[in-house]
């Protein structure tokens, strides 16, 4: 039986502002991306996920959408988006668009109409409430209150910035509108939809305070499942389309409910992303992931980074290697050499686990979090509201040359990159790494090529092998094995026929610390 592409794809996330700038204004765009498609073809990815590219006032870097059926002029035009989809398909690369159903931009015509008249029907599309005080003490996910007062004295709910009013998903027009938006993009040739903040759509209309324990008034309310069932029916009306949820839920069983056979096809594995570089914790995370996904017949996903979280080179170079938004640890000491070594091993781990793997642009270059962006240049609203920012993982990619903009913008461009690039990235450009077998880029290229070629990596099985304390070792189907040494001492390798790929040079026959290797075992 042919496997659906989304079950074991390598999916590359494009953050369009920072991928490649075609017109020289210092902001990435579709012209730049189309010129650089060759990089993605060389990397061998199966699909790209486009972070929002819609018209937006950019209060939250495009996650504040004013029109879901067009492209922001800073990125290009709808005609260019259609051309990109065609060109990507011609290169064998599928394309996933990012839909943001929890909220719209304050500039969206619905919200403008809602503000224009107190009796406008569009008011019911949002969460307006009268009163002298905010209806409750809910906090925005970015810090600060989740309610803002309008000029007529009413309050409206925004779980993110005030420029992102939350939609009322109990309203049938909201549901109908998003079904129409999904159709628009599937008709335009999109192969999948990434669903932003997928667990937040419904709110308890009584608007109770968030309790210490007990049911949360807006995380993971039952109504979301009915919505995703209807989206699944819609997606099933097209050949081979995938729905991928951004579901941040610590409870693995509740997470898996989104992946029941009549709901979403896949969801991001943030449990894995936030897991410490620790053999027992990683093994427990992998087992838990495989078990909850198998129970609903969904493919696991393996995610190490995205545009919201600290880049893994930096995370893994700290003494505490976990990730959470509450403790971003900006400014705590980082050993970049160690972080890079571990990120290389983590790449071979995540690319050899059963399921789909995600690569966030720049991770294939080993970029680290840029933590010294001057406050005046920071753009992320989360920074302004909470003091924890995400700009450091969103810095424009270095392509070539010895100094900024490193080929991100065309030569002689008028604008400098919208966020400053560290000068040290001259050693991490695509040009500097291409052809260097010891580079991160060549590691990713080779690993993705082998992943396609190795039959074992196309099976859903994973079997743990006995190994030294502090290491992880598993087989995938007959013949393929991965060993990751997370201990402080070199370890012996299992008996094998061929070493396919190692994340760092081996120490004779031994696997050094913080190194992973792919092996073909003897029959």
Nearer to ligand NOJ, 108 or 307 (CB): 307
Closest approach of Cβ 246 to ligand NOJ, in Å? Answer: 6
Closest approach of Cβ 433 to ligand NOJ, in Å? Answer: 27
CA–CA distance, 373 with 392 (Å, rounded to integer): 7
Tell me: does residue 53 bind ligand NOJ (CB under 6 A): no
Closest approach of Cβ 249 to ligand NOJ, in Å? Answer: 14
Closest approach of Cβ 308 to ligand NOJ, in Å? Answer: 5
The two three-digit tokens of residue 281, written as one number: 């914790």
User: How many residues are present in the chain?
Assistant: 523
Tell me: does residue 100 bind ligand NOJ (CB under 6 A): yes
Closest approach of Cβ 419 to ligand NOJ, in Å? Answer: 15
Alpha helices in 101-217 (DSSP H): 109-116, 172-187
Side by side, the strands of the sheet bearing 155-157 are 128-129, 155-157, 147-149
Query: One of 196, 363, 369, 514 is an active-site residue; which one?
Result: 196
CA–CA distance, 83 with 94 (Å, rounded to integer): 13
CA–CA distance, 106 with 124 (Å, rounded to integer): 15
Our answer to whether residue 246 is catalytic in this structure is yes
Contacts of residue 119, Cβ cutoff 8 Å, sequence gap at least 6: none
Closest approach of Cβ 60 to ligand NOJ, in Å? Answer: 5
Give the residue from 399, 391, 387, 386 showing the smallest Cα distance to 418: 391
Nearer to ligand NOJ, 115 or 303 (CB): 303
Nearer to ligand NOJ, 60 or 454 (CB): 60
Which residue from 12, 49, 63, 185 is in contact with ligand NOJ, where contact means CB under 6 A? 63
Secondary structure (3-state) at 195: strand
* Site map 286..315 versus ligand NOJ, x via CB under 6 A: ---------------------xx-------
Distances (CA, A) of 419 to 39, 133, 157, 415: 22, 38, 30, 11
Our answer to whether residue 196 is catalytic in this structure is yes
DSSP assignment of 436-454:
-TTSHHHHHHHHHHHHHH-
Q: What is the CA radius of gyration of the chain?
A: 23
Closest approach of Cβ 107 to ligand NOJ, in Å? Answer: 15
The residue with its CB nearest to ligand NOJ is: 63
Nearer to ligand NOJ, 369 or 514 (CB): 369
Tell me: does residue 60 bind ligand NOJ (CB under 6 A): yes
Q: Could you tell me how many residues of this chain bind ligand NOJ (CB under 6 A)?
A: 9
Nearer to ligand NOJ, 23 or 196 (CB): 196
Closest approach of Cβ 53 to ligand NOJ, in Å? Answer: 14
Nearer to ligand NOJ, 14 or 517 (CB): 14
Which residue from 72, 196, 220, 369 is in contact with ligand NOJ, where contact means CB under 6 A? 196
Nearer to ligand NOJ, 11 or 500 (CB): 11
Closest approach of Cβ 315 to ligand NOJ, in Å? Answer: 17
Tell me: does residue 54 bind ligand NOJ (CB under 6 A): no
Nearer to ligand NOJ, 139 or 458 (CB): 139
CA–CA distance, 12 with 365 (Å, rounded to integer): 13
Secondary structure (3-state) at 522: coil
Q: How many CB atoms lie within 10 A of CB 391?
A: 21
* Site map 153..172 versus ligand NOJ, x via CB under 6 A: -------x------------
Q: Among positive and negative, which fits the CA dihedral 435, 436, 440, 443?
A: positive
Tell me: does residue 271 bind ligand NOJ (CB under 6 A): no
Q: Among positive and negative, which fits the CA dihedral 283, 284, 285, 288?
A: positive
Distance spanning both ends of the chain, measured CA to CA: 25
Nearer to ligand NOJ, 160 or 418 (CB): 160
Tell me: does residue 369 bind ligand NOJ (CB under 6 A): no
Cα angle 291, 293, 295; round to 5 = 70
DSSP assignment of 324-393:
-GGG--TTS---HHHHHHHHHHHHHHHTTSSSEEEEETTGGGT--------GGG---HHHHHHS--SGGG
Tell me: does residue 197 bind ligand NOJ (CB under 6 A): yes
CA–CA distance, 73 with 55 (Å, rounded to integer): 7
CA atoms within 13 A on the CB side of 476: 22
* Site map 227..246 versus ligand NOJ, x via CB under 6 A: -------------------x
Query: One of 141, 246, 369, 454 is an active-site residue; which one?
Result: 246
CB 341 within 8 A of CB 397: no
Give catalytic residues, as residue numbers.
Answer: 196, 246
Q: Which residues bind ligand NOJ (CB under 6 A)?
A: 60, 63, 100, 160, 196-197, 246, 307-308
């Amino acid at each position: 039986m042919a496997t659906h592409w989304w079950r074991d794809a390598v999916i590359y996330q494009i953050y369009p502002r920072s991928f490649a700038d075609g017109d020289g204004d210092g902001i990435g765009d579709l012209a730049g991306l189309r010129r650089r498609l060759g990089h993605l073809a060389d990397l061998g990815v199966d699909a790209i996920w486009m972070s929002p590219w819609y018209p937006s006032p950019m209060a939250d870097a495009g996650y504040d959408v004013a029109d879901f059926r067009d492209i922001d002029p800073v990125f290009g035009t709808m005609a260019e988006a259609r051309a990109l989809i065609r060109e990507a398909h011609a290169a064998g690369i599928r394309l996933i668009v990012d839909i943001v159903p929890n909220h719209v931009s304050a500039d969206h015509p619905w919200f403008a109409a809602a503000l224009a008249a107190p009796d406008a029907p569009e008011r019911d599309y949002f969460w307006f409430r009268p009163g002298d005080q905010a209806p409750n003490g809910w906090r925005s996910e970015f810090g600060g209150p989740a309610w803002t007062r309008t000029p007529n004295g009413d309050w409206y709910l925004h779980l993110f910035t005030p420029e992102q009013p939350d939609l009322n998903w109990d309203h049938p027009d909201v549901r109908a509108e998003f079904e129409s938006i999904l159709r628009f993009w599937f008709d335009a040739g999109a192969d999948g939809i990434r669903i932003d903040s997928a667990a937040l759509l419904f709110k308890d209309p009584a608007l109770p305070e968030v309790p210490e324990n007990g049911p949360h008034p807006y995380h993971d309310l039952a109504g979301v499942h009915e919505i995703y069932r209807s989206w699944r029916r819609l997606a099933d009306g097209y050949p081979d389309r995938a729905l991928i949820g951004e579901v941040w839920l610590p409870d693995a069983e509740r997470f898996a409910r989104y992946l029941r056979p009549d709901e979403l096809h896949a969801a991001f594995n943030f449990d894995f992303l936030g897991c410490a570089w620790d053999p027992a914790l990683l093994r427990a995370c992998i087992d838990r992931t495989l078990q909850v996904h198998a129970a609903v017949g969904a493919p696991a996903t393996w995610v190490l980074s995205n545009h919201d979280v600290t880049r893994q080179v930096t995370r893994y170079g700290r003494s505490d290697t976990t990730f959470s938004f509450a403790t971003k640890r900006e400014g705590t000491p980082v050993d970049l050499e160690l972080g890079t070594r571990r990120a290389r091993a983590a790449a071979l781990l995540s690319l050899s686990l059963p399921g789909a793997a995600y690569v966030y642009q720049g991770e294939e270059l080993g970029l680290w979090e840029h933590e010294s962006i001057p406050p005046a240049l920071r753009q992320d609203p989360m920074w302004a509201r909470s003091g924890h920012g995400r700009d450091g993982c969103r810095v424009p990619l270095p392509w070539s040359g010895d100094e900024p903009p490193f080929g991100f913008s065309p030569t002689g461009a008028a604008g400098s990159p919208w966020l400053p690039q560290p000068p040290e990235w001259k050693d991490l450009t695509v040009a500097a790494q291409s052809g260097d077998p010891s580079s991160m880029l060549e590691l990713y290229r080779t690993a993705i090529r082998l992943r396609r070629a190795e039959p074992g990596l196309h099976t859903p099985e994973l079997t743990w092998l006995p190994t030294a304390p502090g290491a992880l070792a598993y087989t995938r189907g007959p013949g393929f094995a991965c060993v990751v040494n997370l201990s402080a001492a070199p370890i012996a390798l299992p008996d094998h026929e061929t070493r396919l790929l190692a994340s760092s040079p081996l120490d004779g026959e031994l696997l050094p610390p913080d190194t992973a290797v792919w092996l073909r075992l003897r029959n």
